């Protein structure tokens, strides 16, 4: 890990501890998370990945070299594969189908995170976009591994844990970190500052996303 990525991770250390300590992730690891909360999370995650995959594809199009292109094309395909297999399996267990999924409205946290990534894609520099995309790789890998160490073998959410603690996902995370570090090396101070800000903001949205699922977040209703 280079100094730049280490500095970014250190900056979000309190936030990452809060993510690990959040009851959603604690109960997910124990296997005691309510079915209702996990169902909410899966639906919102699927709606999020629709946009995340598109932003990854744009990052691929902007990539300055073949290595970056391959990473983001592969990651976009993986995001779609996760939606179709992991999410699809859980949705079948919940008795839901594709129509239920597409009709579900993104909750406020999900909508805000999607909008932030889309705005970064269109308005920010390529290095800043890399930094904004990195937390969804890195934090999920870190959380997946932390939970895998404490999860019981009969955990009903084992498939989720296995997906994000898998070595192949870890290799993609390492590649994303390396690309972000390389971009930082060739960027000036203002761009590196923007990268840190984007990384922190996406990390905040990661916490908000899990918190929204635990609270079963809804839009305000005005009648």
- From the number of C-beta atoms within 10 Å of its C-beta (0-12, 13-18, 19+), residue 35 rates as exposed
pLDDT (average), residues 185-206: 95
Q: In whole angstroms, how large is the CA radius of gyration of the chain?
A: 17
| CB contact at 8 A, 164 and 140 | yes
Of the CATH numbers 2.60.40.10, 1.20.910.10, 3.90.1660.10, 3.40.50.300, which one belongs to the domain with range 3-215? 1.20.910.10
Q: Among 98-107, 185-194, 204-213, which stretch is predicted with the lowest mean pLDDT?
A: 98-107
Model confidence at 1, pLDDT cuts 50, 70, 90, reads: very low
pLDDT (average), residues 130-145: 95
| Sign of the alpha-carbon torsion through 163, 114, 118, 92 | positive
90 vs 206 pLDDT, higher one: 206
| CB contact at 8 A, 150 and 28 | no
Which pair of tokens denotes residue 134?
């990195």
pLDDT at 223 over 60: yes
Place of tokens 């932003």: 55
| CB contact at 8 A, 45 and 58 | no
Question: Which percentage of the chain shows pLDDT scores above 70?
Answer: 90
pTM of the model: 0.91
Q: What is the mean pLDDT of the chain?
A: 88
Domain ranges of the chain: 3-215
Q: Among 87-96, 98-107, 128-137, 162-171, which stretch is predicted with the lowest mean pLDDT?
A: 87-96
| SS3 state of residue 32 | coil
Which pair of tokens denotes residue 96?
């839901």
Q: Among 34-38, 60-64, 131-135, 145-149, which stretch is predicted with the lowest mean pLDDT?
A: 60-64
pLDDT (average), residues 29-48: 93
pLDDT of residue 95: 76
- CB contact burial 167-183 (16+ within 10 A = b; e otherwise): eebbebbebbbbbbbbb
pLDDT in tens, 61-97: 887 777 777 777 766 666 566 666 666 677 777 777 6
Cα 53–Cα 59–Cα 65 angle in degrees, nearest 5: 135
DSSP 165: S
CA pair distance 199, 148, nearest whole angstrom: 25
pLDDT in tens, 97-117: 667 777 789 999 999 999 999
């Amino acid at each position: 890990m280079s100094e730049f990525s280490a500095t970014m991770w250190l900056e979000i250390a309190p936030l990452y501890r809060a993510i690990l300590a959040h009851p959603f992730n604690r109960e997910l690891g124990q296997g005691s998370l309510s079915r209702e909360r996990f169902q909410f999370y899966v639906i919102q995650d699927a709606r999020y990945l629709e946009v995340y995959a598109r932003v990854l594809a744009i990052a691929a199009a902007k990539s300055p070299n073949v290595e970056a292109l391959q990473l983001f094309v592969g990651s976009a395909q993986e995001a779609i594969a996760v939606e179709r297999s992991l999410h699809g399996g859980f949705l079948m267990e919940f008795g839901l189908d594709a129509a239920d999924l597409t009709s579900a409205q993104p909750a406020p946290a999900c909508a805000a995170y999607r909008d932030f990534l889309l705005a970064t894609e269109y308005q920010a520099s390529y290095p800043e976009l890399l930094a904004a995309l990195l937390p969804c790789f890195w934090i999920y890998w870190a959380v997946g591994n932390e939970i895998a160490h404490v999860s019981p073998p009969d955990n009903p959410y084992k498939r989720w844990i296995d997906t994000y603690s898998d070595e192949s996902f870890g290799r993609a995370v390492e590649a994303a970190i390396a690309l972000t570090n390389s971009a930082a090396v060739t960027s000036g101070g203002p761009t590196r500052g923007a990268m840190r800000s984007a990384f922190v903001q996406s990390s905040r949205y990661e916490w908000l996303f899990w918190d929204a699922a635990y609270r079963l977040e809804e839009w305000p209703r005005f009648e």
